[in-house]
A and B are shown apart, each in its own frame.
Chain A
Amino acid sequence: MATITDDAAAASAKPFDIVATYNELLRSDPDLTMPIAAIEALVLLLTQSASSTISETLDLLEKSTAHLKKSIPNPIGLSAGTDLFQRYLITTLQRPGQLGPAGDFKAIRTHLLSNGRLFIRRAKESRHKIADFGRGFIRDGSTILTNGGSRAVSALLQKAADEEGGPSAVRFRVIYVLSSTATTSGDSSEEPEGMKTVRALREKGVPVSTIPESAVAYSLGKADMVIVGAEGVVENGGIVSRMGTYQIGLLAKAIGKPFYVVAESHKFVRLYPLGQYDLPIVQHVIDFQSEEDIAESTQQSSEATKNEDRPIELPLSASVDFTPPHLISALITDSGVLTPSAVSEELIKIWF
């Protein structure tokens, strides 16, 4: 973690680069989620800036957030963090109490600046909380189908497998869907997302079977439930998650297996996608090409034209899809087991 402070120190010399900070934070700590990294980046930003008035700070935050969102290919997760941060600042200032009403801006500033570590710790703790809530879902003899590299799911499964998590370890099996997009994107040396969890579970004595995405429908008959993670939970209770989650949701619904989502409540994001193609990201999953186009594109790539104005594309290996709420049985969050419709209420609580 020393890298961050070093980084911050180095950044003080040159103008603060929020995008670099955000990326650095994510790289330095693999356990960090995108919203928390965004919050951390904003905290560091405030440390750097000398803003002393409320509106100056809010303005700075707004500008940096917009910049950050524009520079990151998938801003859904991080906007949950930046929104939360902004709303927290505004509500605290409005609320009468020890930190408000507008009475002591300095106090809230110092609170935010001095507690950066605390936020990260709490965010990680919330994963354990989720694991406690979700442990009851995993019963002896059950088989769980999961996908992706969600750390919350991993924490939940490992907690269930752990001896000390409860009266005794649950004897369950896991079917792990491994994504094939990572390998097809040319980066064959990298192991597919989730292998770390698979190894950790096997170490704990949990029998794990890894299947490709094409075998989900075939394997679902042997599974009792599906548990997936999420990158962002949107307003209507649907989730934005790793590509392939939507089809698992559809299949689970068709076969009648419960589909649970594990997500921290700081991932709730104020976004109302109407469908797959209504997400604020650009990803060329579907790319129609004729022979001509291919020839043209190879020519172009050799020229390596870089257009600054174009929004940044999400690489295929990091592409996401949207799972609508009617496919989700329940969301296991750190504030309890929620129905999808409860998400909007949580969001309303902080926005209005």
Chain B
Amino acid sequence: MPATSLALTPGLASFLKSLKTNPIDTSIENLISLLKRRQIRHSRSCATATAYLLRSVISACRTADSAKLIERVQGVGRRLMAAQPREMVVGNIVRRVLGLIRDEAEDDREAEFALSDVGSESQPQTPRAYDDPSLPLDRDSLSIRSEDRSARPPLTSMFSLLSHPEPEHSLPSTPGSLSPGGRLPGHGPSKDVRAEVLEGIGEIIDELGQVDDQIAAYALDHIHSNEIILTHTSSTTVQKFLLKAAAKRKFTVIHAESYPNNHEATHATVSGGSMHDDDNLGFETFQKPLIEHGITVILIPDSAVFALMSRVNKVILGTHSVLANGGLVAAAGTRVIARAAKVHQTPIVVVSGVYKLSPVYPFDFDSLIEYGDASKVLSYEDGDLVDQIDVQNPIYDYVPAELVDLYITNLGGHAPSYLYRIVSDHYRKEDISF
């Protein structure tokens, strides 16, 4: 981890800066190597970098044909995902952008069918409805968008068996069918697609910036006075969530330090020290720690979690990514905490932005776990030992869905079994494996 980060260290900030000046292919290469070297590592940083990169890719892509756009984004997306397959948010953002393009292309075609020659002015209305960047509105509009999408093809599911053979043409699923022949490609109403998509990516970027505040808005519903809350790692989402509640209520926080990968950041979060993660600088201005709000914070080693769990009212966890079956991949040690909470019947709440929600089904749990720097477990000063023992430092844990009681996303609280629904609202089926 490049902890001693000067402005020179490559990371999210430097990448975003260079994005404006570098040619697009250099930027793609740049991000790929950043991902490969894990110089961008937090979920949100990866998501932001991907969103900004795709925005540049699309604005550099001088075509109005949505099929070509999709192809281009898929190409870039595949390379990014290959660079860091365990960083699932990259794939999520790519899928959402692909979904955006498909939506715009379909809206376009629908409008074209409906009002044959009115031009581009009448189409953008639907997308512009959820354009307002103001916080609560944006949340509402997100759900409207999802409802809207789910309401549109209500008869595709079980009826598909009996349905008329023709209707497929109205729901194009392959990029090839997106530009049906016999239509003038390239100009006319479809000219607008690119601008709409860029705007949509802007909304995704906005969402990434606001997601923590949106989640924090639910804090008062879940944290009550005099509760004892246990948390883990230095997740900013969790911190903001707790801070929001701390403004109104008095409670106690037990903070497990998550040695060895995240303990320094956790200590800094607890004490409010200046060692804040450089990756987040783009979004996070420094905030007052919980203790300054008069909250009692107890820092404990991870090994004490079980002993203290009987006194805990609620466990609130951050996560690395959430999977379609309701399971999650989170910092190592999370599963132990979740399991301990289950044994004590303590509710487990996971806070996570929707952008972390991946449509990937975890066929193989082991492949999701990333292994980190072994020297954090056993430093190189103990070189003699290293020769004789095998040191491993897994960074993530897979937590199965049945250990989680509630997910709080920027759309609200959901049961783990409901996540499939949010997945189907946010990603198009045809993009799940591209």
The interface of chain A, by Cβ under 8 A from chain B, is: 39, 84-85, 87-88, 91, 95, 98-99, 111-112, 115, 118-119, 122-123, 126, 136-137, 139, 265-266, 268, 329-330, 335-342, 345-347, 349-350
Q: Which residues of B contact A337 (CB under 8 A)?
A: 324-325, 361
Asked if A349 meets B157 with Cβ closer than 8 Å, knowing A336-B429, A337-B324, the reply is: yes
Nearest CB on B from A146, distance (A): 17
Q: List 28 A-B contacts (CB under 8 A).
A: A84-B159, A85-B162, A88-B162, A111-B164, A112-B162, A118-B165, A119-B161, A119-B162, A136-B363, A137-B363, A265-B158, A266-B161, A268-B158, A329-B325, A330-B361, A335-B158, A337-B361, A338-B420, A339-B325, A339-B326, A339-B417, A340-B417, A341-B415, A341-B418, A346-B158, A349-B154, A349-B155, A349-B157
Q: Which residues of B contact A39 (CB under 8 A)?
A: 162
A266-B420 in contact (CB<8A): no
Q: Which residues of B contact A341 (CB under 8 A)?
A: 415, 417-418, 420
Does B364 touch A at the CB level, under 8 Å? Answer: yes
A345-B165 in contact (CB<8A): no
Nearest CB on A from B166, distance (A): 8
Nearest CB on A from B170, distance (A): 10
B361-A123 in contact (CB<8A): no
Interface range on chain B (Cβ under 8 Å from partner):
20 to 34
Contact with A84, one of B158, B165, B326, B415 (Cβ below 8 angstroms): B158
| Nearest B residue to A97, CB-CB | B167
Q: Considering residues B157, B162, B164, B325, which has the most beta carbons from chain A within 10 angstroms of its beta carbon?
A: B162
CA distance A67 to B415 in the complex (A): 41
Does B421 touch A at the CB level, under 8 Å? Answer: yes
B157-A350 in contact (CB<8A): yes
A98-B164 in contact (CB<8A): yes
A139-B364 in contact (CB<8A): yes
Q: Which residues of B contact A139 (CB under 8 A)?
A: 363-364
B161-A123 in contact (CB<8A): yes
Q: How many A-B residue pairs have CB under 8 A?
A: 68
Q: Is chain B's interface secondary structure helix, strand, loop, or mixed overall?
A: loop
- Contacts A265-B157, A349-B154 known; list 18 others, CB within 8 Å: A84-B161, A84-B162, A85-B162, A91-B155, A91-B159, A112-B162, A115-B165, A136-B361, A139-B363, A265-B158, A329-B325, A330-B325, A335-B157, A341-B415, A341-B420, A342-B421, A346-B157, A347-B158
Interface residues of B in 301-350 (CB under 8 A from A): 324-326
Nearest CB on A from B243, distance (A): 33
A88-B417 in contact (CB<8A): no
Q: Which residues of B contact A339 (CB under 8 A)?
A: 325-326, 417, 420
A88-B164 in contact (CB<8A): no
Asked if A350 meets B165 with Cβ closer than 8 Å, knowing A139-B363, A337-B361, the reply is: no
Q: Which residues of A contact B326 (CB under 8 A)?
A: 339
CA distance A338 to B164 in the complex (A): 25
Q: Which residues of A contact B421 (CB under 8 A)?
A: 342, 345
CA distance A341 to B418 in the complex (A): 7
Q: Which residues of A contact B155 (CB under 8 A)?
A: 91, 95, 349
Q: Which residues of B contact A268 (CB under 8 A)?
A: 158
CA distance A139 to B165 in the complex (A): 36
CA distance A35 to B161 in the complex (A): 11
Interface residues of B in 390-434 (CB under 8 A from A): 415, 417-418, 420-421, 429
Asked if A88 meets B159 with Cβ closer than 8 Å, knowing A98-B164, A341-B418, the reply is: yes
Nearest CB on A from B406, distance (A): 15
CA distance A342 to B326 in the complex (A): 13
CA distance A268 to B158 in the complex (A): 9
